[in-house]
Structure formats: C-alpha cells, structure tokens
C-alpha cells in the first residue's frame, strides 16, 4: 500500500450523502438485506474517477492496475453491511481491484491500515522481499505496527503466491528498464 493523499469530496456526494445515508440506515434497520445503491450513476462515476485519479488508476491496497485486469470497484474500508452510516462517507471509500475486494469482503479490524491516514508510511509497517515477491511486517516496527501490517496483509490477501510472483516479475522488468517511470508499473510500493 502506498501512502495516499485524498482529494476533495465530489460535490454530488457531499450534497447527496446525508439523505442517501439516512435512507440506507433506515432501510437496513427495517430489513438487514436492504440493498445498497449509489443512487446516481453520474455521481458514482464521478466518485470512482476521483478515487482512481488519487491512485493513478491503481488499487489502493495491492497497487495493481484497475480497469485493465480488474473491474473498477469502490471499496468501503469499513464495510457498509457493518457500518451503514459510513456507506456514503468520502473518507471510507477507496478504489479497489476485484481480488482485494473479494478477499476482504465484509471483514474489518480496527487495526487495518488505511493508506490515506496521515500517520501511515509503508516503511514503518512493511519490508519487501525481492527474492520472493512477498511483503512482510517490518522487523524494526513496534508490536502494534507489525500487528497492523499482518492484519492488512491477511485481509487483502496481499501475499497470495500469484501476487508475490507478479511483484517479483514487475521488479525484474522495472530494473531492466533504462527509462523506467514508476507510475507505469504495478506494485509501486514494492519498486520504490
């Protein structure tokens, strides 16, 4: 996960969120299976585009490209099924790949790392293993930071064998490219 700087909330979300949230919370209270809806296709596209621009069209968690090998999805950091009052909150939304989203599902742990947290830094929590392609909790981190890294790796399935192999391959290509531009690659936290 790279450190992210969140852009301003889209006006349509700012204007619509209070009413949409109230409707969604009331709907869930009446029926726990009440479906979630973005309520406005135009606003959903604006939210998705603004989030994607925040990450240069990469997943906020694994940093793989979205929209190329994965659908462009929006992740509710705190799951909307457990935190319906946060379903339309801008700071709770991230661009996400299918694999990260389907791995995390409705799980949440308060220790989960949030890439736009002002105190988040990759090097504080993780180290990279260039030979294996894996990321690991930093041995230099305190116990809390290591635990947070472990939870984030587990919930987003960041060390699945195919992901580790893809990071290793990307590292090899990046090292051979004499004019490498970091944003042209996936897994930038691994390459930096």
Q: What angle do CA 113, 121, 118 make, to 5 degrees?
A: 75
CB 77 within 8 A of CB 114: yes
What is the spatial distance between Cα 47 and Cα 2, in angstroms, rounded to a whole number? 20
Long-range pairs for 100-106 at CB < 8 Å and ≥24 separation? 100/59, 100/61, 100/62, 100/75, 100/156, 100/157, 101/73, 101/75, 103/155, 103/156, 103/157, 104/75, 104/155, 104/156, 104/157, 105/79, 106/79, 106/81, 106/82
CB 141 within 8 A of CB 20: no
Q: Which residues contact 78 (CB under 8 A, 6 or more apart)?
A: 86, 92, 108
pTM to 2 decimal places: 0.91
CATH code matching the domain that covers 11-104, chosen among 3.30.160, 3.40.1800, 1.10.8, 2.60.40:
3.40.1800
CB 145 within 8 A of CB 123: no
Q: For tokens 């195919």, name the residue.
A: 162
pLDDT tens for the chain, residues 1 to 192: 999 999 999 999 999 999 999 999 999 999 999 999 999 999 999 999 999 999 999 999 999 888 776 777 899 999 999 999 999 999 999 999 999 999 999 999 999 999 999 999 999 999 999 899 999 999 999 999 999 999 999 999 999 999 999 999 988 988 898 888 888 888 888 777
Domain borders along the chain are 11-104, 122-191
Strands 126-129 and 134-137: antiparallel
């Amino acid at each position: 996960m790279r450190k992210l700087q969140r852009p301003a909330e889209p006006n349509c979300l700012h204007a619509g969120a209070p009413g949409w949230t109230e409707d969604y919370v009331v709907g869930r209270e009446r029926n726990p299976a009440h479906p979630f809806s973005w309520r406005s296709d135009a606003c959903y596209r604006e939210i998705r585009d603004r989030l994607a621009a925040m990450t240069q069209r990469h997943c906020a968690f694994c940093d793989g490209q979205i929209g190329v090998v994965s659908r462009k999805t929006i992740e509710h950091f705190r799951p909307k099924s457990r935190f319906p009052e946060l379903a339309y909150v801008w700071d709770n939304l991230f661009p996400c790949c299918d694999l990260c989203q389907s791995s995390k599902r409705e799980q949440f742990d308060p220790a989960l790392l949030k890439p736009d947290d002002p105190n988040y830094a990759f090097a504080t929590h993780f180290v990279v293993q260039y030979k294996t392609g894996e990321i690991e909790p930093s041995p230099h981190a305190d116990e809390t930071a290591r635990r947070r890294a472990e939870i984030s790796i587990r919930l987003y399935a960041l060390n699945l064998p195919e992901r580790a192999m893809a990071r290793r391959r990307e590292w090899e290509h990046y090292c051979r490219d004499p004019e490498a531009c970091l944003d042209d690659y996936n897994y930038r936290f691994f390459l930096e």
